[in-house]
A and B are shown apart, each in its own frame.
Chain A
Amino acid sequence: EIVMTQSPATLSVSPGERATLSCRASQSVSSNLAWYQQKPGQAPRLLIYGASTRATGIPARFSGSGSGTEFTLTISSLQSEDFAVYYCQQYNNWLKTFGQGTKVEIK
Chain B
Amino acid sequence: QVQLVQSGAEVKKPGASVKVSCKVSGYTLTELSMHWVRQAPGKGLEWMGGFDPEDGETIYAQKFQGRVTMTEDTSTDTAYMELSSLRSEDTAVYYCAIGIPEWFDPWGQGTLVTVSS
Chain A residues engaging chain B, CB cutoff 8 angstroms: 32, 34, 36, 43-46, 49, 55, 87, 89, 91, 94-101
Contacts and interface: CB of A to CB of B under 8 A. Distances in A.
B105 A87 contact: no
A95 B62 contact: yes
Interface residues of B, number: 21
Contacts of A49: 100, 103
Nearest to B98: A46
B102 A97 contact: no
A34 to B, nearest CB: 4
Contact of B44 (A43, A45, A55, A101): A101
A34 B44 contact: no
Contacts of B44: 87, 98-101
B102 A96 contact: yes
B45 A46 contact: no
A64 to B, nearest CB: 12
Given A43-B95, A43-B110, A96 B47 contact: yes
A94 B52 contact: yes
Interface of B: 35, 44-47, 52, 59, 61-62, 95, 97, 100, 102-110
A7 to B, nearest CB: 14
Contacts of B107: 43-45
A95 B45 contact: no
A44 B104 CA distance: 9
Contacts of A34: 102-104
Nearest to B43: A100
A89 B110 contact: no
B73 to A, nearest CB: 22
Contacts of B47: 89, 95-98
A101 B45 CA distance: 9
Nearest to A55: B105
Contact of B105 (A46, A95, A100): A46
Contacts of B45: 36, 44, 87, 89, 98, 101
